[in-house]
Amino acid sequence: MTKKQRIWLLPVLMFLALLSTIASRAQVREPLRPPKGADVAIVVFEDLQCPDCARVEPLLQEAVRTYKVPLVRYDFPLPQHAWAREAAILARWFDTKKLGEKFRGYIFQHQREITPENLRGHAERFAQQNNLKLPFVVDPQGKFGAAVDADKNLGTRVGISHTPTIYVVSNKKSGTPFVEVVDRSQLFALIDSMKREIGR
């Protein structure tokens, strides 16, 4: 390669690196956006075995009811929790029956009683209460497990290290379109602030 070619190639490589960085940042920010049609939403990365996730659930539900904003959930099962991933897979199956949210609430409510050995029994009981029969194999093709793993990988790229991690997000194109809820007592104030910023 000649010196002239190297001089020409350097700006091209720098431009490609810049594009790659922009694309990478866009991918990281993508989950921190409200779903289509919403201006503001709450995003939570959660683990169904996490006691703190169970504690915060009523607050999230109250915020959803009060502000009429969507709650976007991402599964982030922690490695130290023996049944969290399996519970998330079950929740995905119940999603197909439009009962995923209700099942998550049931799991949070009964979290202290659940073990890896009796999780299936709890899921069967919940299914019966809702006039369903849980199939013997819930995820035969592994698609629900793959979806849970995709959420976990997404959370890792975003920088999630603990659960629950909660954000208030908006569809703003500039400024700060999302903010992490560090102090939960400030959740409602952060939603109010975000709504004001977008003029809603």
Q: How many domains does the chain have?
A: 2
Compute the distance between CA of residue 181 and CA of residue 93 in angstroms, rounded to an integer.
Answer: 29
Residue 51: what residue type? P
Compute the distance between CA of residue 131 and CA of residue 129 in angstroms, rounded to an integer.
Answer: 6
Name which residue leads in pLDDT, 79 or 199. Answer: 79
User: Do 92 and 164 have their domain in common?
Assistant: yes
**70 CB contacts (<8 Å, ≥6 apart)?**
34, 35, 38, 41, 42, 64
The per-residue pLDDT for 12 is 44
User: Do 87 and 160 have their domain in common?
Assistant: yes
With a cut of 90, say whether residue 2 has pLDDT above it. no
For residue 17, what are the domain limits? Answer: 1-29
pLDDT per position as a tens digit, 22-61: 333 333 446 899 999 999 999 999 999 999 999 999 999 9
User: Do 6 and 84 have their domain in common?
Assistant: no
The per-residue pLDDT for 108 is 98
Q: What is the model's pTM?
A: 0.83
pLDDT per position as a tens digit, 128-180: 999 999 999 999 999 999 999 999 999 999 999 999 999 999 998 877 789 99
Compute the distance between CA of residue 93 and CA of residue 107 in angstroms, rounded to an integer.
Answer: 14
Per-residue pLDDT averaged across 112-125, rounded?
98
Strand 178-180 versus strand 165-170 pairing type: antiparallel
With a cut of 80, say whether residue 18 has pLDDT above it. no
Question: For residue 92, what is the domain's CATH number?
Answer: 3.40.30.10
User: Do 52 and 134 have their domain in common?
Assistant: yes
- As beta bridge partners, residue 101 has none
Helix axis angle for 100-110 and 51-67, nearest 10°, is 140
pLDDT per position as a tens digit, 80-101: 999 999 999 999 999 999 999 9
